[in-house]
């Protein structure tokens, strides 16, 4: 056996189809312990389909996915026990209060929390004052914080976040980045999707750019900029004379807005 560190997530030649339409065409990447990995791509590129396959929500028509060494197709319960998924706000019952939601999900994840531990979670997300507020009364940013804390309640090795900071103000976004970095500091891994190149540069250790269902580039943000800074397509879209990750992204995926 090699002494190489084992990846927390391995996606190998993943393909996902909806009827005759192939949305993901042989995507491969791996996420290591302590790594924040970003999936970037224009609308319709196949990011959510890739995440859904990892979560076990859509059945791939090709390829392998392992989480903490467990195959999502062959050992789905073990694989899922090692991952935390940030749920959409519609997944929570609006009439439950924040404490009740945390208690409910800790039960679902088989990690019953004591009242003191629920309080700790509330402090962690700065919502101790709002413990008895109904979920439906929370602001969008507060709801995002609840859903992130729920996704990590069972201390999973892999956390999957689909556009986690969309709609957040700069303060809430920074706070969420800190939390994501806290997951990394534990040696766990984060896979996120984002349309914010600023976010990708600020928090991701490595990114994969996906377009039309295929990975077209994969590396650290700095290395991608260095590798493509002299591409004519990248230079032609750059503004103010400085090459950014966004210039590289548009240079590689084209200027056209996707349908
Ligand atoms: N349930 C479905 N049935 C049919 N087609 C689907 C389904 N889900 C996604 N698609 C199609 O698959 C392609 C990839 O969609 P996906 O949601 O994975 O893209 P994305 O990269 O997450 O896009 P966005 O940035 O807009 O969220 C798109 O063309 C989309 O229309």
Is 194's C-beta closer than 6 angstroms to any atom of ligand 1? Answer: no
* Predicted local distance difference test score (pLDDT) of residue 110: 83
CA-closest residue to ligand 1 atom 4: 18
* Predicted local distance difference test score (pLDDT) of residue 34: 97
Q: Are strands 36-40 and 206-211 parallel, antiparallel or unpaired?
A: parallel
Is 253's C-beta closer than 6 angstroms to any atom of ligand 1? Answer: no
Is 2's C-beta closer than 6 angstroms to any atom of ligand 1? Answer: no
45 CA closest ligand 1 atom index:
21
What's the CA-to-centroid distance between 177 and ligand 1, angstroms?
A: 26
**pLDDT tens track for 61-110:** 999 999 999 999 999 999 999 999 987 777 788 899 999 999 998 988 88
Mean pLDDT of 5-15: 95
CA-closest residue to ligand 1 atom 27: 43
What is the torsional sign of CA 13, 211, 68, 151?
Answer: negative
DSSP letter string over 35-86? -EEEEE-STTSSHHHHHHHHHTSS--SEEEEEETTEETTTSHHHHHHTEEE-
**pLDDT tens track for 35-66:** 999 999 999 999 999 999 999 999 999 999 99
pTM as predicted: 0.92
């Amino acid at each position: 056996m090699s002494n190489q560190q084992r990846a927390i997530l391995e996606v190998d030649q993943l393909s996902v189809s909806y009827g005759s339409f192939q949305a993901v065409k042989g995507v491969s990447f791996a996420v290591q312990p302590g790594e924040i990995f970003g999936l970037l791509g224009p609308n319709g590129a196949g990011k959510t389909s890739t995440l859904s396959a990892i979560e076990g929500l859509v059945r791939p028509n090709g390829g392998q996915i392992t989480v903490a060494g467990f195959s999502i197709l062959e050992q789905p319960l073990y694989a899922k026990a090692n991952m935390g998924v940030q749920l959409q706000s519609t997944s929570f019952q609006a009439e439950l209060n924040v404490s009740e939601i945390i208690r409910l999900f800790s039960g679902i994840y088989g990690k019953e929390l004591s009242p003191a531990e629920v309080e700790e979670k509330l402090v962690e997300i700065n919502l101790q004052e709002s413990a008895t507020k109904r979920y439906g009364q929370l602001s969008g940013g507060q709801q995002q914080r609840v859903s992130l804390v729920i996704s990590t309640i069972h201390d999973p090795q892999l956390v999957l976040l689909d556009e986690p900071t969309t709609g957040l103000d700069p303060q809430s976004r920074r706070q969420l980045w800190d939390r994501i970095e806290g997951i990394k500091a534990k040696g766990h891994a984060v896979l996120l999707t984002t349309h914010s190149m600023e976010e990708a540069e600020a928090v991701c250790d490595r990114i994969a750019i996906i377009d039309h269902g295929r990975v077209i580039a994969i590396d650290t943000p700095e290395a991608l900029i260095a590798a493509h800074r002299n591409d004519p397509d990248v230079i032609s879209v750059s503004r103010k004379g400085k090459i950014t990750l966004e210039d590289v992204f548009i240079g590689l995926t084209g200027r056209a807005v996707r349908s």
